[in-house]
Structure formats: C-alpha cells, structure tokens
Structure 1
C-alpha cells in the first residue's frame, strides 16, 4: 500500500504535516477507486434515483424502497432494501473465499439498514467455458456462493452466468441482496449524537484482507493468484448467521442509532464513514478491538477486512444490553470508542508483548505511552479524494459480416452453447426454498418472492449481456435494462426500482473508458425511460489483466411488484395458440444480428438491433397481459433469440408446431435473423385468446401468430426452406452442456 504522490501532497496540505503511516494507509484505501469512485462518480449523475417509492437512495450501505399501496392504518409501509456489490479480484485469486465473502458483505449491508435478508441474486462472468482455468474459477465461485448462502439461510433465487473470452484473466462476481424492513425498524449509516458509544460486534479481527480496497483498484498482475492472496478475506458463514439473528434482536429492541458493516478498508472505513455522514468525529482506542491474532499493530487493526463484523452507534445506557445480546449469540463485542464533535481520532496502546519489546529495561512492566495514530477530519478522509478527469473514445459499431450456416446445425450449436444452455448445474447447488418465500425460483425469466407482509409478490431479475455491450456499449446497456424489465413483466410484475454493478477495465485507457461511459449512459437512459429509479449500486474498475480488459459489463438487479404471488409459467401447455410479440426479422437486414450468440459462435459481425420505439409501453402492456386469465405461458426472448426461447418452452408433455414465413424461402440469412437475432423487449405468449393479446398490443408492438401447442413433446420450426424438428429429450441433452463439461 502506498499513497500516490499527488494525493500525498493534498493530504499534507490539509493536515499541515506529514501523515502518520496509519493515516497514509487509510487515505490510500479510502481514496482508492474502489471506495472513492474517482473515475466513475462524475458519470453517475446520469442516473435518476428519485421517486415516490424511494425512501433512501444512493450513498448508504443499501437503498430503501417502499412497496406501493400497502400502508397500514397508521400510514406506515413495508420497505425493501436493495444492494449489490462486486468481489471480482478476490474471486480470481481465491474463487471460493472471494465469492463467499462477497455474499457475506452484501448481506451485512442489508443488516446495517435494519433489514432482514430475504433473497440473493448472483451474476457471474467467466472466460470461455472450454478453458480449464475458467472451469476452475467457475466451480470455485459457485461453491463459495452456495456454501455461504446455504449456511446463512438466505435463498439465492435469481441471477445469470455468461462466458466470454475477455473474462479469461479477470472474472466478475456480482451479488445482489434484497432485505425486508419497515419504517419503525429503519436504521441508517448516519451517526446521530456526540457521546454515543461505538460498539464492534461479530468475529474477532485478524490479518486477512489487508489492503483489499487497494487491491480491488488495480489491474490484476500475472502472479496475482499467489502474491495477492493475503488481500482476500476468509469467510465464516456460521458466524454471519449468528450476526444476522443478533442484528435482528438489536433492531427489534431499537438499540441501534446507526450502523455500518465492516467491508472495504475494515474498521477504518466503516467507522470514519459512519461519523462523517453525520458531520461528526470519533475517538477510537484500537487496542479495545477484540482480536483473533496476537500482537496486531494499529494499522492491521484499522485496515484488516476480516469478515462478519458490524460497527454500531449505541446510546451509553444501551451498551450493556447490546453486550448481552452479542454474548447470547456467541459473538464478540467491544466498546471501541465514542462519537465526538471533533476529528476522527484513533489511538493505540500496544500489547504486553509489544510493550516488553519496546521497554529498554526488558521486564515489560513499564506502560507504553498511548500513541495517536490517526487524527484527521472525517469528511476530508471520506470525501476529499479528487475526481479523475479521463479521456474517452467512443466505440464504433462493427461492419456487417454475416456467416452462411446450415440452420439445423446452427440451431443445435446455439441451443447447446454454454451461454444459452441451462444453468441448472448452478442453481441446484443453491437452497432457493429456505425462508419459504420463493414462489417462482431460478430457471425462469424472473424469480418471485412472497412478501406476505404487504400481500405482494416481488419479482427479481439480475444480469448483463457482455456480447451486447462489447458490440455496442450504449445501446447494449439500454438493451440490458429493457431485458431485465421484460423478465419482470413476463411474470406479471411492474418494475419498481433497480441497483447496478458497473464493471469496467482500466479507465485510464481512453477506449476502455469510452465503452464504460457508454454503458453507464445507456443503462441510465433506459431506466429513466422505464420510470425505474436506480437507487444504488457499486462500481468496479481496473478489471484488466495480462489477457486484456473485460467488456463493459453493467449488471442490473431490478425488482418489480404484483398483487399476489402467482405468475404464468415459462413452459407451454399442450393446447393453446402461440404468439410472438415484437419484431420477427423476416427479411435480410430487417433486424440486425449484432451481439447475438449466433455471431459469437460462427465468427460473424453486425450492428446491434434497434430497440422498440416505446419500451415502457411494451413492459406495461406485457405485465397486464401476463396477469390475464387467458394467458397460459410467457417467455422472454433474449440470448440465442427466438430459437432458444421456443426450445426452452417445450416439455415431454407439450410441444410446439411453429411456422415463420420468410419472403424469400432460399434466403438463409433472413431465416437466421428470424431465428437468432436478440432484440430485447420481445416475448412469446401462449394464450387462449390471441385476439385479445393482439388488441392489447395494438400500436405498442407487432404481434405475429407462430403456431400452436401439441401434446407430443416435439418442436417443429418451419422457417423459409428449412424445417427443424427435435423433441424435449434431445433438447434437454443439448442443454446439459455445463454439467457434461464439468464431469
């Protein structure tokens, strides 16, 4: 860890002296890209974060959103919390612990708002599936997420998995958490009153995770897997489960004035941010921190990112009760200092062993003088980092170069691609039923969690699309937002709010920063169009390695609400008319193939498709149609295009006969466009009332009748001069790519 020269000069100017070693390390971590968003904060004003439903927006550990229309007699509402974070670099160095502690961190962000965690969503990105190192990372990350989530009893219900060659040297692990709270339970990270005590509850502090924030703010080096391992935290999910339940008791008894979980920059980050938000200071005696390793020095205690720890502001009269609750749950508890109206001050008196080594008499009996290791303005520490002014270059759309491929062979290849194949190998390792709230689980367009307190279903969708944003960062990011909203509407829910995890490469490279900026603007513009506020998020830059930068990857986790908990299924019934809502692409060049799995598999290129003219109307109408009693099944069209959606909808008991007319039957390019283009905002609907669906979407989106369901479990697609025929068992075999490839 080292403070950059320009930052060092600024700190010296502010302090009027040289910083102590602990201060320099604290500034270096809190002014890192990971904590201060020095390259991204100038871009984040593009997001619309306000709305009647928004209780707490960006800036706290998690956002707080009111569920609509559920006020009780005294006017109070049921709230949900939303948060998302990345653990990208740690998951490359140590995939199991890196991913596991990512789960633990976002859950503690939820706890610090006075909420109980009810659902997780994970969005994961790896190099090409055939590469052994990618498989190693993939298996370790999934194992880490499943182990931690299952042990703490929070269901992982949604997410995504993408494979792309540009993640080979730098995978991404993005985890979102939804919590449940209300007005009476709500806690924030804003310190309240001088004289209140700062209490540390949870695991003992060790030396793991030192400099984690700095490590996350640099490109991954070639030797990162060995040299950077000490920067990766080690998780203990059983301690986290105890911390969840202890936090619940503290909230119920209203013993907490403010709270912050210990994540990036450890105790120094959490405690300084807590008091800075209240315009206050603190005095912390570092040796009071309960430790699990001997002879830790002040800097280690201050910056270690040991997991399963919370910092609470507690009124003096409530400290004993907090300690009793911590002891009941077998958690450590230390009163480490108090809130003040002055600077952020940390002092340290060494251990007996350290005193003995420092004592010239050698008998260890002389007390060591208390040392002031940090004495700075808390606001300057947290907000004083200067923003970067970086150059950006726009990303050009590629030229059109469409391959000529036999459609039947293409269908088999696309359906069995790791990106479109079933992700059941992943989500079957997660306990998505724990908590008995899961109405629709993973494997569908969106999950639905029952919020019985408000008698509403909460739909959750999370993911990005690196093929889309690598081709067209701005339009591809708009498409990602629309895709998540379409997933939610397909289950009959209306989008409510979203959080984002903005992942990019080294921002000092103009082309990389240009792609990142385009993705930010695209996500912001579409969310605004959909009237869906982006209420919080995370930024992860310097995802760059010897293999090169990652694609701009704007993961979006979106939630929506609906009355009740039921939703139309993804799979078709054996009778009913099948309709396509959205553009078919009946003529060559009518719809672009850019960003599609088809071009990724067959080395083609094209511009990204145009988006629907009125995406908000599409989403609103789709939610209404999905809830109609005549609707039998709904499935969004995304990765792999119409072909993959149709393949996913059939079962052993219900098949489909589909006909897609192409004006020129011999034009295989037009047929390929119809089958495989990935314009978002499109769905397949099975209905008993096709005329009613057409009327609903009149003036909003085209509706094309594709065919009808059968009871033989077969899929037949007539498109141009080609006929593709298969059955559910064959498709299932094709879609088992991931489990087969890991055997």
Structure 2
C-alpha cells in the first residue's frame, strides 16, 4: 500500500477516509480539511481523531468548565492552575504540592486489572511531569450492585490492578472511596488521584521552546496494546452490538514506571529538561502536539526512530498508541549526552526523535516522507467546541416530590436497633478493609493517616513535620436528586473531611463522571453540577487546579447517576497534631457540632431499608462548612479534641460506629430533649461532625464554639464496650464489628 504522504493527500482530495470509524463527525472531518486546505493524511486523521475525542478535547464540557477560571479567583497558594498536567499549590516552607484526579472508567470495565493499573500509572506520570516526586495515591471507586455476579469480576480485578501497580511503585494508597449502586453495573467508575511534592524552583511545564532543542522519547517501547486506548473508549457509550474493544486497553509495567520516575527526577535535578510531557491519552499525538502548541515554535519528528515492541505497526498506529510508561522531553543540544547517559544508568530506553524548529508547524516524517504537516494548536487546543442542548428532565419533579422523609420509620427502640445493624452491614457502609488491606498504605514511612480515616495525610518534611491531607468525595444519589446541590455537597464533604483531620483546605481537583452528553437530560445534570461546584468553590475560596471529565458513562440509554467526585487538598503545619477518627480514650466527652434537621433524601437509610431514591438532598450551607472547618482545625491545633469524624453517609450513628470500632471503645449517648431519636441517628444533614473532647478541655472547647456561633451539643461519653443510646437500645461492639466487617468478604471473596 502506498504511504499516505502530505503530497499524496494534496493530489488525491476525493480519496475516501475512515473518519467515522475513528469517532469523528462529518462536520469535524470537514473542519480538519478546512484547517489543512486539503484532506488529511492517514497519520493526520489519526492524530485529529484521538486529540478531538471527548476524553482529550473536552469538546462537550469546556464551555461549562470555564466557570472554574471565571468564578473562582486563584488564591495566594496557587502556583500553577488549569491547563497543565496537574495543578500546583504552595504549602509553605518552600514546598509545592501538585495533585490531580483522573478517570479510567471504560478500560477498567473491559479489562479490570490493566484498566485500573494503567489508570494509576497515568496519573502518577501526570504528577511526575510537573517536576514532583509522587508521594501517595488515592482511588475513588464505584461499582454495580455488590451482589451482582459481574461485580465479582470487576471489583477484584480493579482492586488488584490498583494495588499491584501502586504497591510496586512504592506509593502508599492513603484514601478514596468504594460505593456500590446498580446504576454503575455496566459502567464502573475507576478514578485515580496522586499527590506529588517538590520545591518551588523545581516546577516544570509542558512546552517545547528553543529552536534546535531536541525532542527525546524515553521509557518503554511503543506497542499495539493501547491503540486508541482511553481516548476512544471514553468517547462513546457501551453497546453490546458493537465489536469488542479489548485491544484498546493499555498494559502496564510498574517496574518500568519506577525506573522512569527515578530517571526523570535525576534529569530534573541536573536541570537537563526545558520542557516535558507524559504520554497518556492519545500517546505521541498528544505529547508532540501539546508540547509544540505550548511552545514558541514548531517541531519536526522522525517517527521511524521511535523504539517499537511490534515492528509491524503503521505510522498511524504509532501515533495513536497509548502504550504506558513513556515520557517526552525537550532537551538543549549540549545536554543531550548527559540526558541519555542518565537514562542508560536507569536502564530506560531513550531516543532523540526530533527537534524544535523556528517554524509554526508540527511536521512528522516516516523514512524521509512527510506524513504530518499541521498547525499544532489545531490538534491540541483548538478542537471542536459544542454547546450541547440541555434541559431539565421531565422526571426530575416527580423524583424530588417522592419525599424520603415520608417513608415508614422504626417505631420502637428494638426496630431502631435492627435498622442500625442493617445499615452498618450494608455494602456501602460496611468496612472496606478487604479492599484497602490489599494496598500498601504505609510504604515510605511518611503516611500519617490512611483509610478508613476521614482523609489521607502524609508528612512531606521530616524535620518540620509539615504535611498535606487529601480527601475525595462524591454522592451520586444526592446529585441525581439535585445535581447543583449534589456537586456542592461533594465539595463540602471533602472539605469537611480534610478539616476533621486538622488540615486547612487549600485547593480542589475534580473528576466529573456523567452519561452521554448527547442526552439533553445528562447535559443538564452536567451543567448544573459544574455550576454548583464553581459557585461553591467561589464561596469557600478553594480554586480548582485541574481535573478530568468522563462522559458517555452509560449502557445503551441508561446513564449512571451524575457523579461529580471532588478532591480537596489541605495543609497542616505539624502532622503530630492531626486528629484521627478513633475514640481512643474512655471518659472523653462526645460533642455533636452543627444542626440536625429532618433530611433523609438520598440517605443511606432510605437506600438500605427502603430501596428508595427520592426527595431532596440535604441543604448546603457553605458558610457553616467554613465555620465548622475553622473550629475543627483550631481544636486540632490547640489540643482540644482527641478524635473527630465528619457526619455524612449513614448519619450520626454510622460515624459513631466507625469511631468506636476504630478505637475499641464504646459510647453512652443521650438523645437531646425534644429530638426524634430516629432523625438524631439517621439524618444526613451536612455541616456536622462529632468530636471527643478531654474533660480538661471541655470549657475551652465550648467557649470557642460559643464565641464563633457554632452549635455544639454534648451528646455522650466514650465508655464501655457497646453503643448505648439511653432509653432506646444497646448494641455490643462485638456485634457491630461482625456486622461491619463480614459483609464485603462475604459478597466478593
């Protein structure tokens, strides 16, 4: 077959091309021809198809995402914002922290182990590309019904992939979530996050500047295991009638990635890199076009110099391959030899594949023949922008009118006791130790808090004990009831979780998981959730540093619940003052902070006891969240609270069970006068937390809460080996532990 060169493309304008098979729309293909003034070559078509995919171009979402930049001013801590591989914030003492959350949803359904493993690998390289040493990972996960047969296929594979890759890299897994719901049956959500640490002067950006500088591809050889990969998989819905996409799932090698990390950090240390980009979604198409687009000139690449695992790969396949463990660096000519020397030391293959030019084009050659001649911005940053139609679905009113507050409630203490055990043992509220025990949470020796704490925390300076905390949260049930409020509740919960450990919330990353943007109802959910998150970040003063959008999470015409996952990063000046969840000392006083209202819409109780979803989610009060966070941080800093736990899924009783089981101490509680015991225990009102306060600190603590106007109610004492609610019931910790810990192993193992 004749090679499709630029000259040949110009001479054969009517040649048929497989643009539709590559996921392009007819008008998109026409736009490419308009940009180039001719039809694209096969290689150019491959590049545009992956770079203009939903996953890479954000073509359906960017008109809404711009709110994050418009509404939320960058605070003093922001060093690098939206648009780079990951955001960077100043955490003090000369340190900067970079963090981000990404999705690997569709690949993880097709091939759970490799889909999840390469999701971890990809987010780690994003962090590495900023100049940082990766120090921890997190994994917010969503699966179908816990008792569904396919969940037994997907969940163990995903968990093994995350653990296998992260453990081999020597990165502690410090946080995340596991949620089960039938809506995720055909579309599990595998989101992965990473934190990296560096000094301010070590920040690197993805740009190719300086004519004559060399383009070096280093890391693993390029193979056919990830052709199209996530860029294609994440850009359409699953449909049983379509051919399998198994070959599109990437294959990871964590040992190669570990070498790549150490090699990259050494070339950074010797200041050998002028620009750098990891190869993730869209592979070389992305790395070359984005580096050239962000630089001041053009780029020439000799594609036939790329090291291959499969010599039969065509130029188009090489450009589309998403093979893992690869990076692309821009290096000044006089530093190339040293760069290659360090790569050889670490047994990392490195090849000069091109150079930066003083032109304006990205030019790619194959054995001397030009196969790509494009303006790089048109590939990387000027893809389609869709103003998708959206409309509030006609079923939304009926869903909200189906009020969960009207469901039948327990009438006696015995019924209340039984339903508590039922909720505590439900898959979403049960212990996830079977999962998290497969992750190394303490490797490197700097993990301060990890699952099942409210947020993960790592020390980043061993002398000063400076640390950072990260929490991820997102409640798809709340967002289904009201996507605007649901997104704000996700932010509020993550913000509250960080503050509960004693860290000050600084910045946000997000992973927005939704169904097909071609459905006006789904697009309305996305628009409302994005608006809600931007408004809430504006109020709380937490800028969005970056993130990810994952669309087309649906099977046929059935979409997942809208699931905006929000990650909040916080800083603590001394990790020795962190506040854990556990009630560790008998005799301490238990205080409930915040107001409890009759709010059961989307609650764990309504789901577990009644299999019900309806009504309105809890009310959001962001100023209350800010005040609560200030109190929790002050209590931690000044030694006024020995334990703290936010109230969210499952309400007060779930938080009490977790704090009691974690510390091995029971609790005696008194329901406040005039309060319904059921509402007291099961309401999921936001802006609340429980704390255990040493008796010696009670007056100081209550004075602080009173002076700042935060309701603080003494509800009990840490004591005994049971949770005893006066006048209602008593449940031994041994019975609670059995209910809490045996569910997941019984369903999955």
TM-score of the aligned structures, taking structure 1 as reference length: 0.92
What does residue 508 of structure 2 align with?
498
Residue 707 (structure 1) aligned with residue 716 (structure 2): yes
What does residue 591 of structure 2 align with?
579
Following superposition, the deviation at residue 301 of structure 1 comes to 1.2
The 3-state SS of whatever aligns with 2:97 is strand
Contact 1:122/1:176 (CA < 8 Å) preserved in 2? yes
Q: Which stretch shifts more, 399-408 or 370-379?
A: 399-408
Contact 1:63/1:81 (CA < 8 Å) preserved in 2? yes
What does residue 194 of structure 2 align with?
177
Cα separation, 1, equivalents of 2:654 and 2:508 = 27
- CA deviation string 1:410-453 (max 9, x = no partner): 10111111111111111111111111110112211111110116
The 3-state SS of whatever aligns with 1:184 is helix
Contact 1:574/1:653 (CA < 8 Å) preserved in 2? no
Residue 53 (structure 1) aligned with residue 74 (structure 2): no
Matches within 5 A, 1:84-483: 84-212=101-229, 213-222=231-240, 227-342=244-359, 343-349=361-367, 370-394=368-392, 395-396=396-397, 397-400=400-403, 401-405=406-410, 406-452=415-461, 455-483=465-493
Q: CA 1:43–1:169 in structure 2 vs 1: closer, same or farther (change >3 Å)?
A: same
Matches within 5 A, 1:693-732: 693-698=701-706, 700-710=709-719, 712-718=720-726, 723-732=728-737
- CA deviation string 1:22-56 (max 9, x = no partner): 11121111111101101111111222261111111
Cα separation, 1, equivalents of 2:701 and 2:557 = 49
Following superposition, the deviation at residue 518 of structure 1 comes to 1.6
What does residue 30 of structure 1 align with?
51
Following superposition, the deviation at residue 662 of structure 1 comes to 5.8
Following superposition, the deviation at residue 2 of structure 1 comes to 4.3
Contact 2:500/2:645 (CA < 8 Å) preserved in 1? yes
Contact 2:508/2:567 (CA < 8 Å) preserved in 1? yes
Contact 1:169/1:546 (CA < 8 Å) preserved in 2? no
What does residue 6 of structure 2 align with?
none
Contact 2:453/2:581 (CA < 8 Å) preserved in 1? yes
Following superposition, the deviation at residue 691 of structure 1 comes to 3.5
- CA deviation string 1:146-191 (max 9, x = no partner): 0000001111111111111110010001111110111332211022
Contact 1:169/1:548 (CA < 8 Å) preserved in 2? no
Following superposition, the deviation at residue 614 of structure 1 comes to 2.9
Q: Which stretch shifts more, 151-160 or 469-478?
A: 469-478
The 3-state SS of whatever aligns with 1:123 is strand
- CA deviation string 1:343-367 (max 9, x = no partner): 1011102xxxxxxxxxxxxxxxxxx
What do you get for the CA RMSD once the two structures are aligned? Answer: 1.6
Cα separation, 2, equivalents of 1:574 and 1:474 = 42
Cα separation, 1, equivalents of 2:401 and 2:434 = 34
Following superposition, the deviation at residue 208 of structure 1 comes to 1.3
Contact 2:467/2:572 (CA < 8 Å) preserved in 1? yes
Q: CA 1:29–1:49 in structure 2 vs 1: closer, same or farther (change >3 Å)?
A: farther
Following superposition, the deviation at residue 399 of structure 1 comes to 2.7
The 3-state SS of whatever aligns with 1:181 is strand
Following superposition, the deviation at residue 321 of structure 1 comes to 1.2
Following superposition, the deviation at residue 192 of structure 1 comes to 2.0
Cα separation, 2, equivalents of 1:294 and 1:559 = 44
Cα separation, 2, equivalents of 1:185 and 1:223 = 49
Cα separation, 1, equivalents of 2:100 and 2:73 = 14
- CA deviation string 1:114-163 (max 9, x = no partner): 11000101100011111111122111101000000000111111111111
TM-score of the aligned structures, taking structure 2 as reference length: 0.91
Cα separation, 2, equivalents of 1:694 and 1:645 = 21
Give the unaligned 5+ runs of structure 1: 71-76, 350-369, 586-590, 665-669
Matches within 5 A, 1:630-649: 630-649=640-659
Following superposition, the deviation at residue 547 of structure 1 comes to 7.0
Candidates 527, 541, 548, aligned match of 1:538: 548
Aligned residues: 701
What does residue 17 of structure 2 align with?
none
Q: Which stretch shifts more, 204-213 or 381-390?
A: 381-390
Q: Which stretch shifts more, 455-464 or 118-127?
A: 455-464
Cα separation, 2, equivalents of 1:51 and 1:61 = 19
Contact 1:529/1:616 (CA < 8 Å) preserved in 2? no
Following superposition, the deviation at residue 580 of structure 1 comes to 0.4
- CA deviation string 1:630-674 (max 9, x = no partner): 31211111111101111111147521011114637xxxxx43322
Q: Whose helix proportion is higher, 1 or 2? A: 2
Contact 2:641/2:691 (CA < 8 Å) preserved in 1? yes
Residue 678 (structure 1) aligned with residue 684 (structure 2): yes
Q: CA 1:23–1:676 in structure 2 vs 1: closer, same or farther (change >3 Å)?
A: same
Contact 1:501/1:539 (CA < 8 Å) preserved in 2? yes
Contact 2:491/2:567 (CA < 8 Å) preserved in 1? no
Cα separation, 2, equivalents of 1:390 and 1:546 = 19
